[in-house]
């Protein structure tokens, strides 16, 4: 046992010498890599390598380093020259002297920009990208406007005819036969209505022209005898201006007639595309929707799959409600002008029905057309009575029929209706005005559902409460009632 302390002492001395040698080697490496000798200062001041293993001071072996450390404020010119020569020969840039002023680091450019400006810039470029995307999309739609309008019209017709297909399938008819019967009957009815309107107009065009001429003469006499003090010369001047305008624009009218042939060809093409698309949407609409869902990314597919049926229900409710309201308008206004003796009451009623699909604007245009026809054919009194009938029916429609029939299925603000109809008319004419409101209604439904779906998904992914909080929010089973307990007792 007496040899153990000596053995431990020798091990400790050996470890001490090993540590000193490691410190000396580290100091020498730092002195070689650093041209200004700062590593030697650190080695000297660290306390561990201030003395070598043999007891000598490192400053004795490096007098120049000691001199530098003793007078840091006054550098010798010879020492500086030699140091610069040595640095130039080694290819390294010498460190700045200790008396040089400190240079403040430049701030990060991102941190230098105010927070509000950064938020505005982030929102700005995203809005620019969105606006560019919408602009490109509108250009593409304008290039294939006929195809887009035909497909949208097919969607509206499908929404109107699809309940009939469902009823026929419930009665036992196969899907193909139910689709064929519904499509054929629907298009036959539409074709008969169009043919009847054209036939009525062609049959009454001569009588109507005579009545219009007679009505213009009556209107002229009424203006001469009216309190507006209109003179014969003023009326002749207005008629002369109209004749000159028609004569000056003869070429434009002729070119418009030639362009009418192109319009007729495009119209027939659009009708064929609409019929073809409607037939396949009625027959295979579910599989088409499933194929569209496969194009959606997997992460967004559940939300889109839930939004699609809701959007279709909104579109179906809008089409049904609009058809019912338009039919009521056409029937009552048509009966009113028929009993007032206005010619072509049935074609005017058909026009009122068709223009009712353009919200707000269509009712004004169709009503004004009926009033003008009554005014120029039957006189001022019949024209005023026609105006009263049109206004009465439209007021009943706007305040009673639309809220009751459409209900909460189509919740669109009147300002959104006006702006959407105006924008749709500017982009795609009458067709754009027709599809603008259902598009806005469907978009409103889809956005509302996706917002609710995202909120519900976030709640599902949130961590569940634990401990006392979980006990507080846990559902509590209701206590059994006395009747149930008595029944259980009697059963036992």
Global pTM reads 0.61
What is the model's pLDDT at position 133?
Answer: 92
- Yes or no: say if 270 and 149 are a contact pair by the CB < 8 Å rule: yes
239-277 as b/e: b if 16+ CB within 10 A = eeeeeeeeeeeeeeeeeeeeeeeeeeeeeeebeebbbeb
Distance CA 255, CA 170 (A): 53
CA 425 to chain CA centroid, nearest Å: 19
Instruction: Let me know: does 303 contact 450? Beta carbons within 8 Å.
Output: yes
- Res 68: pLDDT: 39
Per-residue pLDDT, 57:
46
Q: Are 446 and 311 in contact (CB under 8 A)?
A: yes
pLDDT at 53: 40
Q: What is the pLDDT of residues 343-400, one digit of tens each?
A: 888 888 888 888 888 777 788 888 888 888 888 777 778 888 999 998 998 888 777 7
Q: How high is the pLDDT of residue 488?
A: 40
Chain position carrying tokens 């580290």: 26
Q: What is the pLDDT of residue 72?
A: 41
| Regions of the chain with pLDDT less than 50 | 1, 37-89, 482-492
Rounded alpha-carbon distances, angstroms, from residue 139 to 63, 135, 468: 83, 6, 60
pLDDT at 486: 42
pLDDT at 86: 46
């Amino acid at each position: 046992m007496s040899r153990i302390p000596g053995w431990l002492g020798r091990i400790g001395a050996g470890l001490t010498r090993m540590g000193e040698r490691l410190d000396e080697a580290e100091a020498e490496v730092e002195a070689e890599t650093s041209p200004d000798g700062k590593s030697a200062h650190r080695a000297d001041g660290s306390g561990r390598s201030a003395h070598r293993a043999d007891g000598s001071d490192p400053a004795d072996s490096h007098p120049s380093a000691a001199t530098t450390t003793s007078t840091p404020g006054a550098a010798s010119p010879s020492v500086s020259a030699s140091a610069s020569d040595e640095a130039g020969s080694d290819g390294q840039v010498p460190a700045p002297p200790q008396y040089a002023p400190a240079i403040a680091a430049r701030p990060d450019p991102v941190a230098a920009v105010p927070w509000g400006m950064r938020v505005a810039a982030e929102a700005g470029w995203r809005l620019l990208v969105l606006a560019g995307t919408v602009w490109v999309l509108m250009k593409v739609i304008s290039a294939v406007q006929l195809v887009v309008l035909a497909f949208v019209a097919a969607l509206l017709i499908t929404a109107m005819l699809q309940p009939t297909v469902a009823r026929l399938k419930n009665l036992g008819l196969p899907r193909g036969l139910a689709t064929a019967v519904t499509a054929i009957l629907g298009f036959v009815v539409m074709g008969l209505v169009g043919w009847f309107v054209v036939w009525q107009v062609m049959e009454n065009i001569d009588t109507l022209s005579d009545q219009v001429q007679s009505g213009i003469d009556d209107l002229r006499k009424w203006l001469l005898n009216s309190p507006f003090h209109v003179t014969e010369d003023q009326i002749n001047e207005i008629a002369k201006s109209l004749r000159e305008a028609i004569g000056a624009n003869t070429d434009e009218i002729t070119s418009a007639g030639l362009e009418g042939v192109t319009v007729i060809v495009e119209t027939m093409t659009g009708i064929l595309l609409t019929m073809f698309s409607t037939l396949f949407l009625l027959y295979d609409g579910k599989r088409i929707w499933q194929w569209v869902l496969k194009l959606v990314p997997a992460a967004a597919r559940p939300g889109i799959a839930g939004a699609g049926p809701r959007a279709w229900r909104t579109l179906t409710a809008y089409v049904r409600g609009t058809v019912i309201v338009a039919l009521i308008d056409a029937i009552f206004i048509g009966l009113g002008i028929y009993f007032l003796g206005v010619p072509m009451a049935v074609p005017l009623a058909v026009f009122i029905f068709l223009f009712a699909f353009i919200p707000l604007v269509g009712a004004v245009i169709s009503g004004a057309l009926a009033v003008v026809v009554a005014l120029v054919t039957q006189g001022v009194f019949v024209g005023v009575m026609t105006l009263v009938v049109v206004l009465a029916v439209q007021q009943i429609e706007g305040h009673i029929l639309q809220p009751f029939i459409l209900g909460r299925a189509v919740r669109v603000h009147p300002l959104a209706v006006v702006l959407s109809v105006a924008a749709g008319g500017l982009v795609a004419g009458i067709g754009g005005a027709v599809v603008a409101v259902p598009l806005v209604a469907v978009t409103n439904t889809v956005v509302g559902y996706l917002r609710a779906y995202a909120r519900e998904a976030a709640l599902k992914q949130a961590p569940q409460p634990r401990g006392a909080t979980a006990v507080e929010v846990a559902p509590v089973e209701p206590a059994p009632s006395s009747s149930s307990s008595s029944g259980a007792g009697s059963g036992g």
